[in-house]
């Protein structure tokens, strides 16, 4: 019949665990959306899918044209930068809390039932 092999990762079984574990997928969960390397580009990509952010970006770009310039360039950029920063901080904190929860769940002790 079917059987299951469980090898501890510690102690003198470490070499055998490393050899056998390459054959199987790991059992870790990951619910986070970002990594340290992709946080800024992915967050900006997601934020510019919102119509309001695209509108403010259009105003910023339009204000760089000298004939259309209504305000100072920096003042036009301020609302967009503030909103993008606030949303990025919120998303980063939410993702970090998911990371901590994933880490806690992945490090739980488990019991293996064997007849």
Distance CA(4)–CA(12), nearest Å, equals 20
C-alpha neighbours within 13 Å on the C-beta side of residue 69: 10
Note whether residue 114 is domain-resident: no
Q: What is the pLDDT of residues 16-51, one digit of tens each?
A: 777 777 777 777 888 999 999 999 999 999 999 999
Q: What is the pLDDT of residues 50-94, one digit of tens each?
A: 999 999 899 888 888 888 777 777 888 898 999 999 999 999 999
Of 41 and 10, the structure prediction assigns the larger pLDDT to 41
At 106 the pLDDT is: 83
Note whether residue 80 is domain-resident: yes
Note whether residue 60 is domain-resident: yes
Q: Residue 43 sits in which domain range?
A: 31-107
Note whether residue 2 is domain-resident: no
What φ, ψ does residue 47 adopt, rounded to 5°? -70, -35
Q: Tally the domains of the chain.
A: 1
Note whether residue 13 is domain-resident: no
Note whether residue 54 is domain-resident: yes
At 8 the pLDDT is: 59
pTM confidence score: 0.69
């Amino acid at each position: 019949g079917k059987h299951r092999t469980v090898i501890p990762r510690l102690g003198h079984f470490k070499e055998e665990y490393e050899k056998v574990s390459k054959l199987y997928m790991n059992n870790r969960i990951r619910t986070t959306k970002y990594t340290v390397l992709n946080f800024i580009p992915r967050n900006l990509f997601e934020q510019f899918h919102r119509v309001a952010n695209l509108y403010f970006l259009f105003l910023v770009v339009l204000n760089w044209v000298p004939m259309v310039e209504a305000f100072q360039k920096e003042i036009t950029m301020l609302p967009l930068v503030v909103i993008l920063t606030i949303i990025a901080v919120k998303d980063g904190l939410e993702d970090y809390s998911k990371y901590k929860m994933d880490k806690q769940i992945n490090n739980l002790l488990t019991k293996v039932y064997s007849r």
